[in-house]
C-alpha cells in the first residue's frame, strides 16, 4: 500500500486557551470515501507517533506506518471497506521528520518569522479533536464510522465521544484512559518537563539556532520508554549482561549493564529527532486530558457518549492499567450506554499496543462488524 | 517503648569492590537477647529508612520508628519474646539526621580529613549483610530466628538467606524481589543518578561545603516517590484540584495541580536531608542487587537457601510486583525448600508496605509461630 502526505491549513484556529492562530497539520488517507460519506475511520496517533498510520511512501521504505498490521486491505481496519484517515497532532514531537507537518513552538511566527517558542499557546487533546473535525468537514465527512487510537491517540478518540457525540458511531480506546492518571502525569509529563528545563542548554526555551537540550530530552524520553516497556521485555532483550566493552558492573564502578546502554541509546536516537518545546507542550496537553473537563464528573461525561465504546488495555501496562478502562466502561454502562473492555494478554507493557498491534486485530474486526454488542 | 542508638565500628572492613576501610554504623535493639542467643530477629531498612525501626527516643517524639506497628510487646515481631535489631545501612541517604550513623561518600577520609566523595568504594547489598553479620557476632549472635525487611531491606533479608544460609531460620521479604528488576533499575537508580549528575550544583560530586545539587536530588526523590505510590493514593490525597493559589491548569499555562505541588514539596523536604552522593551510591548498590550473583542462576541460588521464606508483595506495587515474589517462591519450592507468597491487598502501591504495615501483621505472626508451614 503506497501512501502520501497531505496538508490541511486553517488560517485562524481558536484553541481552548482563548487564542487563535494559523495552523497546518499533515494527514494521510487509506481506502476510498464512499458516496454517502459514512465509511470514514479516524485513527489518532500516540505521543511519539504521527499521521503515517499505515503503508509505505516508497516500495523500498524499511518500515510501514506504525499501526500497519491493523490497517490495509483485508485487515482489521479494512481499507477495501473503510476510508481511514491519520492526522499529525499539533506540537508533534517529530518536528524534524520531513514526513511530519505540525504547528507548535518550533513553527515560525507569521509576524516575526522567528519560532514561537514559549509564546505558543498551550494546546489540549480537545484542541486536536476540534482541529480534526475541521479537517474532516473539509473532506465532506460529517459522521465517523469509528474513531480509534492507542495511548494519547486513545485520549483523542475518547474526547471525540464527548465533544462530538452525534458524529461518532464507534470508539476504540487502546492502551488508554479517560483522563491522564497521576503516575503518568507526574512521571511522564511533570518530570519529563523538569528534566528538559534543568538542562542548561534549554536556555529558557530559546535554544533555536543551537543544538537544544539533547541531554534533558534524552532523559525525558528514557523515562517514558522505561515506563512504557516492562521488566519482562527488558529481560528478554538484554538480560543482565554487561554492556559491550563494559567491565562487570558488580565489581567495577565504571561498569554498566547492556539494558542501561541500549535503553539510553534508543532514547538518545529519538531525542535527536525531537523538539524540546514540542515535547513539553505535548506532555502538558496529555497531562491535562480528562474527558470530564467542563462536566460535573465521569457520570455526566459518560451520559453524553452515544458511541459504542471498545477499550483494549494491556494487562502489563503501568501507565494506563486495565482498571482505568474498566472504570470508564462501568460508567458508560451505568448510563445505559454500550461499552466493553477486552484486556490484551502480553507481558511487554504499554508499547505492546503499538509493537504487538496484531493482538488487537480480532477484537477490533469483531467490533467494527457489529458482533461485540450483537 | 523508649529506645536508644548504639554505634558499631570496624577499623577495617573489606567490601566486594576489593577495598577495605574503617566503618561505623548505628543500630538499635528492642527486647532482650535470651541466654541461648537464639531469639534474635534482624530487621533491615528500606532505601529512605534507617535503624530506627520502632519505639521513640523520647516520650514526646512526634512519630515512632518506621515499622512500629509491627515491632513491640505483643506485636507481630513480639519484643516480649524476640530480641529485635535494626541497623543503619552504609551510604545511608539521611546523613544529616542526627539519629543516623553511617559511613559513605560524605564521611571524612581518615587520612585527608575531607569527605571521600566519589573516592568511596561502591558498596553492595551483600556488603551490608556482611557488615551486619560482624555486628551480630559482636553481640554474641550466631543464629537468627528471622531476618526481615521491606523493599531494599528485603533485598538484604534475601541476601542473608544465600550468603549465610546456616545462620538464618526464617526470612521475610516484604515488597521486595530477589534481584533489582529492570524498571526499578532504570527509573529509580539509573535516571535518579542522571538527574543528580545533570544538576550544575553537583560539581562532579565535590559539592561539600556548598548547598549541593538540591534540584537534582529533589527530582530523583520525586521520581522514586511517584513510582512507589499509586494512582489511587494520589487521587485520594489531592484529586484533580489546582494547587493552592494556582489558576486552573487547563486554561492558564502557569497553572498546576495540587498533586504536582504537594508531591514536589514532599520530595524537596526529603531532598534537603539527603546527601546526593549517598543517594547515588545507595541507588547503585540497590541496582546491583541479585541473590544469584556468583552462582549459575536462580535455581542454584534457591538451592542454597535453608531458611523458610515468606514473601509479602503488595498487589498494586509497580516496582516489586507480586510476580517477582512468586518467581522466587516457585524456585525455592522446586529445590525442595519451604517458601510461600501472600499478596497483600491494598491499592496504595509499594510504600503501603511501610505506611500500612499493619496489613502484614497477621501473616508475619503466623510465620514466626511456625503455622505457615505446619
**Are B235 and A182 inside 8 Å of each other by CB?**
yes
Instruction: Quickly state the pLDDT bin for B43 (edges 50, 70, 90).
Output: very high
**Are A191 and B231 inside 8 Å of each other by CB?**
no
Instruction: Inform me whether the pLDDT recorded for B348 exceeds 90.
Output: yes
User: Cβ contacts of residue B355 below 8 Å, gap of 6+?
Assistant: B348
**Residues of B classed as catalytic:** 151, 317, 350
- Distance between CA atoms of residues B91 and B121, nearest Å: 10
Compute the nearest-CA separation of B190 from chain A (Å): 8
Instruction: Inform me whether the pLDDT recorded for B18 exceeds 90.
Output: no
- Is B19 in a helix, a strand, or coil? coil
pLDDT tens per residue, range A246-274: 998 988 888 999 999 999 999 999 999 99
For chain A, the distance separating the N- and C-terminal CA atoms, rounded to the nearest angstrom, is: 32
pLDDT tens per residue, range A175-220: 999 999 999 999 989 999 999 999 999 999 999 999 999 999 999 9
Mean per-residue pLDDT, A31-41: 97
**Are B183 and A240 inside 8 Å of each other by CB?**
no
Compute the nearest-CA separation of A94 from chain B (Å): 23
**Are A227 and B185 inside 8 Å of each other by CB?**
no
Residue in A216, A219, A231 nearest the CB of B181: A231
- Distance between CA atoms of residues A256 and A219, nearest Å: 17
**Are B16 and A215 inside 8 Å of each other by CB?**
no
Measured from the Cβ of residue A344, the count of other Cβ atoms closer than 10 Å reads 20
**Are B290 and A240 inside 8 Å of each other by CB?**
yes
- The string of DSSP codes covering A320-349 is S-HHHHHHHHHHHHHTT--EEE--B--SS-
- Distance between CA atoms of residues A139 and A33, nearest Å: 9
Q: Determine what percent of chain B is predicted with pLDDT higher than 70.
A: 100
pLDDT tens per residue, range A238-248: 998 999 999 98
Residue in B195, B215, B250 nearest the CB of A293: B250
Residue in B121, B199, B226 nearest the CB of A186: B226
**Residues of A classed as catalytic:** 151, 317, 350
Please give the sequence-ordered ranges of beta strands (E in DSSP) within B235-301, or none if there are none: none
Residue in A17, A187, A235 nearest the CB of B253: A17
Residue in A183, A195, A199 nearest the CB of B231: A183
- Distance between CA atoms of residues A243 and A78, nearest Å: 43
B-interface mutation test, from A126, A226, A252, A258, most B Cβ less than 10 A away: A226
Cell of A143: 459522521
- The string of DSSP codes covering B56-67 is BSSTT-SS--TT
Instruction: Inform me whether the pLDDT recorded for B252 exceeds 90.
Output: no
Partners of B186 on chain A (C-beta within 8 Å) are 222, 226, 234, 259-260, 263
Answer whether A172's CB lies under 8 Å from A199's CB.
no
Partners of B260 on chain A (C-beta within 8 Å) are 185-186, 190
- Distance between CA atoms of residues B268 and B46, nearest Å: 19
Mean pLDDT (chain A) is 96
Residue of chain B whose Cα is closest to the Cα of A285: B250
Instruction: Inform me whether the pLDDT recorded for B2 exceeds 90.
Output: yes
Answer whether A205's CB lies under 8 Å from A217's CB.
no
SS (H, E, C) A19-52: CEEEEEEEEEEECCCCCCCCCEEEEECCCCCCCC
**pLDDT given at position A127:** 97
**Are B227 and A190 inside 8 Å of each other by CB?**
no
Cell of A307: 458511541
Residue in B198, B235, B240 nearest the CB of A198: B198
Instruction: Inform me whether the pLDDT recorded for B123 exceeds 90.
Output: yes
Instruction: Inform me whether the pLDDT recorded for B254 exceeds 90.
Output: no
**pLDDT given at position A276:** 98
Compute the nearest-CA separation of B3 from chain A (Å): 37
Q: Pairing between strand B71-72 and B77-78?
A: parallel
**Are A240 and B199 inside 8 Å of each other by CB?**
no
ipTM over 0.90: yes
Instruction: Inform me whether the pLDDT recorded for B72 exceeds 90.
Output: yes
Compute the nearest-CA separation of A7 from chain B (Å): 28
Q: For A328, how many CA atoms within 13 A lie in the half-sphere containing its CB?
A: 38
Compute the nearest-CA separation of A76 from chain B (Å): 33
Answer whether A256's CB lies under 8 Å from A249's CB.
yes
Partners of B180 on chain A (C-beta within 8 Å) are none
Mean per-residue pLDDT, B72-79: 98
Residue in A185, A251, A288 nearest the CB of B250: A288
**Are B183 and A249 inside 8 Å of each other by CB?**
no
- The string of DSSP codes covering A182-221 is HHIIIIIIIIHHHHHHHSGGGGGG--TTS---HHHHHHHH
Residue in B18, B199, B288 nearest the CB of A198: B199
B-interface mutation test, from A117, A179, A183, most B Cβ less than 10 A away: A183
**pLDDT given at position B250:** 83
**Are A187 and B216 inside 8 Å of each other by CB?**
no
**pLDDT given at position A254:** 84
**pLDDT given at position B255:** 92
Bridge partners of residue B9, in order along the sequence: B24
Partners of B229 on chain A (C-beta within 8 Å) are 183
- Distance between CA atoms of residues A248 and B120, nearest Å: 18
Partners of A240 on chain B (C-beta within 8 Å) are 179, 290
Partners of B190 on chain A (C-beta within 8 Å) are 222, 260
Residue of chain A whose Cα is closest to the Cα of B234: A182
Residue of chain A whose Cα is closest to the Cα of B183: A231
Instruction: Quickly state the pLDDT bin for A236 (edges 50, 70, 90).
Output: very high
**Are A198 and B219 inside 8 Å of each other by CB?**
yes
Measured from the Cβ of residue A4, the count of other Cβ atoms closer than 10 Å reads 9
Which residue is listed with cell 557476632?
B137
Mean per-residue pLDDT, A133-161: 98
**Are B230 and A16 inside 8 Å of each other by CB?**
no
Measured from the Cβ of residue A73, the count of other Cβ atoms closer than 10 Å reads 11
Residue of chain A whose Cα is closest to the Cα of B293: A250
Compute the nearest-CA separation of A235 from chain B (Å): 7
Instruction: Inform me whether the pLDDT recorded for B253 exceeds 90.
Output: no
A-interface mutation test, from B91, B116, B191, most A Cβ less than 10 A away: B191
How far is CA B110 from its chain centroid?
28
**Are A234 and B183 inside 8 Å of each other by CB?**
yes
**Are B253 and A121 inside 8 Å of each other by CB?**
yes
Q: Determine what percent of chain A is predicted with pLDDT higher than 70.
A: 100
Amino acid at each position: 500500500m503506497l501512501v502520501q502526505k497531505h496538508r490541511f491549513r486553517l488560517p485562524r484556529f481558536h484553541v481552548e486557551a482563548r487564542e487563535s492562530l494559523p495552523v497546518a497539520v499533515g494527514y494521510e488517507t487509506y481506502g476510498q470515501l464512499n458516496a454517502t460519506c459514512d465509511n470514514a475511520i479516524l485513527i489518532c496517533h500516540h505521543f511519539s507517533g504521527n499521521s503515517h498510520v499505515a503503508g509505505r511512501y516508497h516500495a523500498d521504505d524499511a518500515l510501514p506506518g506504525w499501526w500497519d498490521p491493523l490497517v490495509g486491505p483485508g485487515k482489521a481496519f479494512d481499507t477495501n471497506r473503510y476510508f481511514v484517515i491519520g492526522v499529525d497532532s499539533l506540537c508533534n514531537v517529530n518536528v524534524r521528520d520531513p514526513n511530519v507537518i505540525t504547528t507548535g513552538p518550533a513553527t515560525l511566527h507569521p509576524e516575526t518569522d522567528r519560532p514561537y517558542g514559549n509564546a505558543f499557546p498551550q494546546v489540549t487533546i480537545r484542541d486536536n479533536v476540534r482541529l480534526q473535525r475541521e479537517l474532516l468537514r473539509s473532506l465532506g465527512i460529517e459522521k465517523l464510522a469509528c474513531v480509534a487510537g492507542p495511548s494519547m491517540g486513545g485520549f483523542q478518540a475518547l474526547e471525540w465521544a464527548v465533544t462530538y457525540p452525534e458524529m461518532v458511531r464507534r470508539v476504540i480506546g487502546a492502551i488508554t484512559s479517560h483522563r491522564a492518571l497521576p503516575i503518568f502525569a507526574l512521571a511522564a509529563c511533570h518530570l519529563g518537563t523538569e528534566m528538559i528545563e534543568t538542562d542548561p542548554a534549554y536556555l529558557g526555551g530559546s535554544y533555536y539556532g543551537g543544538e537544544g537540550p539533547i541531554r534533558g530530552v534524552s532523559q525525558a524520553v528514557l523515562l517514558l520508554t522505561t515506563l512504557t516497556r516492562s521488566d519482562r521485555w527488558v529481560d528478554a532483550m538484554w538480560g543482565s549482561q554487561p554492556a559491550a566493552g563494559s567491565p562487570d558492573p558488580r565489581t567495577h564502578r565504571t561498569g554498566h549493564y547492556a539494558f542501561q546502554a541500549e535503553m539510553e541509546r534508543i532514547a538518545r536516537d529519538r531525542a535527536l529527532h525531537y523538539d524540546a518545546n514540542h515535547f513539553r507542550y505535548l506532555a502538558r496537553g496529555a497531562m491535562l486530558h480528562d474527558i470530564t473537563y467542563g462536566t460535573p464528573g465521569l457520570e455526566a461525561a459518560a451520559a453524553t457518549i452515544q458511541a459504542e465504546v471498545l477499550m483494549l488495555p494491556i494487562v502489563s501496562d503501568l501507565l494506563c492499567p486495565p482498571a482505568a478502562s474498566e472504570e470508564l466502561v462501568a460508567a458508560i454502562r451505568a448510563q445505559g450506554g454500550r461499552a466493553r473492555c477486552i484486556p490484551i494478554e502480553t507481558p511487554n507493557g504499554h508499547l505492546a499496543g503499538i509493537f504487538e498491534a496484531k493482538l488487537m486485530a480480532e477484537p477490533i474486526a469483531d467490533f467494527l462488524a457489529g458482533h461485540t454488542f450483537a
